[in-house]
């Protein structure tokens, strides 16, 4: 196999450099240059003060590359273009004054208004809600000290370690430049070619191929700040912090076949779910938790906390709940709010600060620049959705779409106009203003990757081996599916060689799923460690895999002659459990029940497949069931519910439809009695081996 690992080596002066793969595939000979024709010596690393130091503003290669990337799409976001959002509040649990001076964390019970946007990453604004993709999880807190944007994802790690590679990553994952497809999909040559040459992406690939990237809805995803940040208290003491959002509704995903079918049945499924949950008063809720630690703890870890491709497992450092977020109001206007909202990770209040994570450092530059291009003006912060809810006072003036009307002639400082009886404007305040934590920095100005970033496989192994066996099968099957769409054989081989460093079983299962030979593992830049497993990483049979109907929907199929008493009891039981019953019938106008009354339906059978629901109930008459056995939509309704491992409750008259759909009775296929609600709150993973072939 070709050695494609990026390793570090020392130059004659003792400095660290990354060695590029000597035999990596490449095109015609030529020098990489800036847009001014200046040759680029290193396109992998930002210019930093020492290997783990801050990024230098003078890095013109980074600034030009990010600047051009930020302005490639007008006016749509380049990434995270398709999003949904809601208003709500954050409620603080207790004072965190020992950790941070940020005002929103000082008093127990205090509520801070906020706006949260969820999004897919790769697709355009017109793509569907349910592709296999990372979900953005961005929260704008309107604090008394200014806006705080906690801009993260539903995955705690990222593909790359250095922000200078972000344009390359996104270019590779977007639709291929010559043909304009695929849209919102990673299953194509250019994405896998890029990541196969970037071993640092391996950990993220395991997350991407897991069930985390095909979530059931926005309400059942976790959120992560991804980077290591700082808390700074009133005494100037710094504490490292990582942020976690944990859904009170539980963590839930879909089956891949289910996600594909939802995309066809309702492209707006997750957006609609968020809207309807708020409309019905079932307000989505998350707990904000933190992992806090000091420099000594960070140095004790076998990985670097500044590396965005790494996590700190909860079993090593527990997550401390510090407050809750409740989303209780949908936007009044999608464009004015959801589309015009502008996030920037550089927006932090006093008491929250940054670290030298090289991915975070690049993001601090990129986002502000992007908003100018997307929203067309440097005054985008004056839009109502972006405007702070505290006073804004400075000497910035004019520009397109200026909505403020400053008074007086003071537009600079210092000024002495007060001596003339005029308003001299605001002044800096050393006592209450934002003060950057004075971390000591020293080192040569170099484009390097620190040696502590060199292990690309240990945490990927940790993640895979921590999953439930059903999730491991899903990961292997996802790799096999994606790589089956890759036409370049060498790309598949490189990915498999990298997976061999993660787990031989995983690499073998993927190779078997493709029916190709499994290559030897690729060379590594650092030893691969067997880290302690982390059950907290599981979805299936994990701590947040809740057996509940609260906030979930049951599709109830009825026909002419259905028993109204049974129907009413099922609806009442589902609602009592905190769920919602959605009535489905062949005709949306309703059906005539056994007692002669007419019951209207919420949806037509052909347009309301079972993929849209969390469980299915069949309240059928014998005559109506006989007719449904000849209706493909009805057979598919039941077949998919069974194949997607959902609970099915049925009246005795519905048995012929079950038989026609090939449904076998198990603990999740039950009589439609009082026990159905208990069965309906979970999926039946042990059934999966009977209904599909997995890698």
Give the pLDDT band (50/70/90) at residue 619: very high
136 in any annotated domain: yes
Q: What is the mean pLDDT of the chain?
A: 93
Nearest to 342 by CA among 376, 393, 399, 385: 385
With beta carbons less than 8 A apart as the criterion, state whether 270 and 218 touch: yes
DSSP 128: -
Strands (E), 156-205: none
Q: Which helix (H) or strand (E) holds 112?
A: strand 111-120
Q: What is the mean pLDDT of residues 453-466?
A: 98
pLDDT at 74: 54
Tell me the torsion sign for CA atoms 261, 264, 265, 269.
positive
- Write out the H or E segment, with its range, that includes residue 7: strand 7-10
Residue 508's H or E segment, with its range, is helix 504-514
Over residues 403-407, mean pLDDT = 89
- Residue 199 near residue 454 (C-beta atoms within 8 A): no
User: 664 in a domain, yes or no?
Assistant: yes
> Encoding tokens for residue 56?
């230098």
In degrees to the nearest 10, what's the CA dihedral of 592, 595, 597, 598? -20
pLDDT, average across residues 337-364: 95
Cβ-in-10-Å burial (0-12, 13-18, 19+) of 447 comes to buried
> What pLDDT sits at residue 29?
66
Residue 370: which CATH number?
2.40.180.10
242 vs 311: CA distance, rounded Å: 9
Q: Which residues contact 410 (CB under 8 A, 6 or more apart)?
A: 395, 417, 422, 423, 424, 425
- What is the predicted pLDDT for the residue at 478? 98
Q: Residue 400: exposed, middle, or buried by beta-carbon count in 10 A (0-12, 13-18, 19+)?
A: exposed
E strands in 228-332: 229-232, 238-247, 285-293, 320-329
* Residues found in the chain: 695
**195-226 per-position pLDDT tens digit:** 999 999 999 999 999 999 999 999 999 999 99
Instruction: Provide the residue range defining the domain that includes 632.
Output: 553-691
Confidence of residue 69 (pLDDT cuts 50, 70, 90): confident
Quote the Cα angle for 192-28-32, to 5°. Answer: 80
Q: Domain boundary at 382, 410, 439, which?
A: 382
* Cα 364 to Cα 550: distance, rounded to the nearest angstrom: 39
Say if residue 612's pLDDT is above 80.
yes
Question: Is 70 exceeded by the pLDDT of residue 34?
Answer: yes
User: Could you tell me the two tokens for 14?
Assistant: 């003792």
We report the CATH number of the domain holding residue 580 as 3.40.50.880
pLDDT at 307 over 70: yes
Note the pLDDT tens digit of each residue in 103-136: 999 999 999 999 999 999 999 999 999 999 999 9
pLDDT for residue 54 is more than 60:
yes
Instruction: Please give the Cα distance from 488 to 205 (Å, whole number).
Output: 19
Q: Is residue 637 classed as helix, strand or coil in its secondary structure?
A: helix
Last residue of a domain, one of 328, 354, 382: 382
Does the residue 115 lie in any domain? yes
Instruction: With cut-offs at 50, 70 and 90, classify the pLDDT of residue 590.
Output: confident
Q: Where does the pLDDT of residue 32 fall: very low under 50, low under 70, confident under 90, or very high at 90 and above? A: confident
Per DSSP (E only), the strands in 99-177 are 111-120, 135-143, 146-153
- Tell me: pLDDT of 486 over 70: yes
On the question of pLDDT at 12 being above 50, the answer is: no
For residue 22, what pLDDT is reported? Answer: 39
User: If pLDDT is split at 50, 70 and 90, which confidence band does 378 have?
Assistant: confident
The Cα 519–Cα 494 span in angstroms is: 8
The model's pTM = 0.91
Question: DSSP letter at 138?
Answer: E
526 is a domain residue: no
Q: For the chain, what percent of residues have pLDDT higher than 70? A: 96
Which of these three, 357, 382, 407, is where a domain ends?
A: 382
233 given a catalytic annotation: no
Interhelix angle 256-265/269-279, rounded to 10 degrees, is 80
Helical (H) or strand (E) element with 153: strand 146-153
Smallest CA-to-CA distance from 159 within 122, 192, 203, 197 is with 203
Where does residue 457 fall: left (phi above 0), alpha (psi -120 to 50 degrees), or beta otherwise?
A: alpha
153 is catalytic: yes
CA distances 633 to 517, 612, 661, Å, are 41, 14, 11
Token couple for 333:
């206007």
19, pLDDT greater than 60:
no
- In this prediction, residue 43 carries a pLDDT of 87
* pLDDT at 634 exceeding the cut of 70: yes
End-to-end CA distance of the chain: 24
Q: Which residue is it, tokens 């996590």?
A: 311
Instruction: Say if 151 falls within a structural domain.
Output: yes
CA atoms within 13 A on the CB side of 336: 8
Tokens of 256: 């891949």
Q: What is the CB-side half-sphere exposure of residue 289 using CA atoms within 13 A? A: 18
In-domain check, residue 176: no
Answer yes or no: is 39 within a domain.
no
Pairing of β 47-49 and β 16-19:
unpaired
Average pLDDT of the residues in 325-347:
96
- 632: which 2 tokens? 């493909």
Supply the pLDDT for residue 579: 96
pLDDT value for 40: 86
Structure-block tokens of residue 575:
């609602």
- Give the active site residue among 45, 80, 381, 474: 80
Task: Read off the pLDDT of residues 536-582 as tens digits, 9 standing for 90 and up.
Answer: 999 999 999 999 999 999 999 999 999 999 999 999 999 999 999 99
Number of independent structural domains in the chain: 2
Residue 9 has a pLDDT of 52
From 45, 92, 147, 153, active-site residue: 153
**Percentage of the chain lying above the pLDDT 90 cut:** 81
Angle between helices 489-502 and 189-196 (to 10 degrees): 50
Backbone angles phi, psi at 426, to 5 degrees: -75, 160
Q: Give the list of residues 6+ apart from residue 351 with CB closer than 8 angstroms, or none.
A: 100, 101, 102, 103, 105, 231, 232, 233
pLDDT beyond 90 at 498 = yes
Gyration radius of the chain over CA positions: 27
Q: Which two tokens stand for residue 211?
A: 């069930």
d(CA 129, CA 562): 35
Closest CA to 529 of 472, 469, 460: 460
**Three-class DSSP category at 344:** coil
Per-residue pLDDT tens digits for 141-190: 999 999 999 999 999 999 999 999 999 999 999 999 999 999 999 999 99
- Neighbouring residues of 299: CB distance < 8 A, sequence distance ≥ 6: none
Residue 369 confidence (pLDDT): 84
Q: Which of 214, 326, 219, 332 is nearest to 271 (CA)?
A: 219
Say which range, 67-81, 277-291, 341-355, has the weakest mean pLDDT: 67-81
pLDDT at 24: 42
**575 within a domain of the structure (yes/no):** yes
pLDDT for position 75: 78
């Amino acid at each position: 196999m070709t050695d494609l690992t990026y390793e570090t080596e020392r130059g004659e002066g003792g400095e660290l450099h990354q060695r590029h793969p000597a035999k990596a595939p490449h095109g015609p000979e030529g020098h990489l240059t800036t847009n001014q024709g200046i040759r680029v010596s290193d396109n992998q690393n930002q210019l930093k003060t020492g290997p783990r130091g801050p990024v230098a503003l003078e890095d013109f290669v980074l600034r030009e590359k990010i600047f051009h990337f930020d302005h490639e799409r007008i006016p749509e976001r380049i990434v995270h273009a398709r999003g949904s959002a809601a208003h709500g509040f954050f409620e603080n649990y207790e004072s965190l004054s020992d950790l941070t001076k940020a005002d929103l964390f000082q008093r127990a019970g205090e509520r801070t208004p906020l706006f949260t946007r969820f999004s897919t990453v790769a697709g355009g604004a017109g793509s569907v809600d349910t592709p296999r993709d990372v979900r953005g999880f961005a929260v704008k807190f309107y604090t008394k000290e200014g806006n705080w944007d906690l801009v993260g994802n539903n995955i705690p790690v990222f593909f790359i370690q250095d922000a200078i590679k972000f344009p390359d990553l996104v270019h590779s994952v977007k639709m291929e430049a010559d043909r304009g497809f695929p849209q919102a999909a990673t299953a194509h040559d250019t994405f896998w070619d890029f990541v196969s040459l970037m071993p640092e992406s391996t950990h993220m690939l395991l997350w991407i191929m897991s069930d985390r990237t095909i979530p059931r809805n926005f309400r059942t995803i976790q959120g992560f700040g991804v980077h290591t940040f700082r808390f700074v208290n009133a005494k100037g003491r710094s504490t490292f912090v990582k942020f976690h959002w944990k859904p009170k509704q539980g963590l839930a995903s879909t089956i891949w076949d289910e996600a594909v079918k939802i995309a066809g049945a309702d492209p707006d499924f997750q957006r609609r779910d968020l809207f309807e949950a708020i409309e019905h008063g079932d307000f989505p809720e998350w707990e904000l938790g933190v992992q806090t630690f000091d420099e000594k703890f960070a140095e004790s870890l076998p990985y670097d906390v500044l590396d965005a491709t790494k996590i700190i497992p909860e079993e090593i450092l527990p997550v401390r709940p510090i407050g809750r977020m409740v989303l209780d109001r949908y936007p009044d206007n999608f464009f004015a709010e959801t589309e015009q909202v502008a996030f920037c990770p550089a927006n932090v209040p006093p008491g929250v600060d940054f670290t030298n994570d090289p991915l975070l450092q690049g993001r601090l530059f990129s986002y502000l620049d992007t908003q100018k291009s997307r929203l067309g003006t440097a005054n985008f912060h004056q839009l109502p959705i972006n405007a702070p809810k505290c006073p804004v006072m400075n000497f910035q003036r004019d520009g397109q779409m200026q909505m403020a009307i400053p008074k007086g002639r003071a537009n600079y400082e210092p000024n002495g106009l007060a001596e003339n009886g005029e308003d001299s404007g605001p002044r800096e305040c050393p006592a209450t203003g934002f003060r950057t934590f004075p971390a000591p920095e020293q080192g040569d100005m170099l484009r390097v990757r620190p040696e502590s970033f060199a292990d690309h496989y240990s945490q990927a192994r940790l993640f895979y081996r921590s999953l439930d066996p059903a999730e491991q099968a899903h990961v292997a099957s996802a790799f096999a599916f994606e790589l089956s769409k890759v036409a370049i054989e060498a790309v598949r081989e490189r990915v498999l060689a990298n997976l061999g460093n993660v787990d031989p079983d995983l690499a073998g299962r993927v190779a078997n799923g493709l029916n190709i030979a499994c290559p030897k593992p690729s060379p590594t830049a650092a030893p691969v460690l067997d880290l302690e497993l982390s059950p907290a990483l599981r979805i299936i049979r994990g701590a947040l895999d809740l057996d509940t109907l609260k906030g979930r929907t049951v599709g109830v199929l009825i026909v002419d002659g259905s028993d109204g008493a049974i129907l009413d009891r099922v609806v009442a039981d589902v609602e009592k459990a905190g769920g919602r019953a959605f009535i489905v019938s062949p005709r949306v106008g309703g059906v005539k029940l056994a007692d002669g009354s007419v019951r209207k339906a919420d949806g037509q059978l052909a347009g309301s497949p079972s993929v849209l629901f969390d469980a299915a109930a069949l309240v059928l008459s014998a005559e109506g069931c006989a007719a449904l056995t000849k209706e493909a939509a009805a057979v598919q309704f039941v077949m998919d519910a069974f194949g997607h491992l959902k609970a099915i409750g049925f009246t005795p008259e519905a048995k012929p439809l079950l038989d026609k759909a090939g449904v076998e009775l198990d603990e999740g296929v039950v009589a439609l009695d009082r026990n159905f609600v208990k069965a309906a709150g979970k999926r039946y993973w042990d059934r999966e081996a009977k209904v599909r072939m997995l890698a």
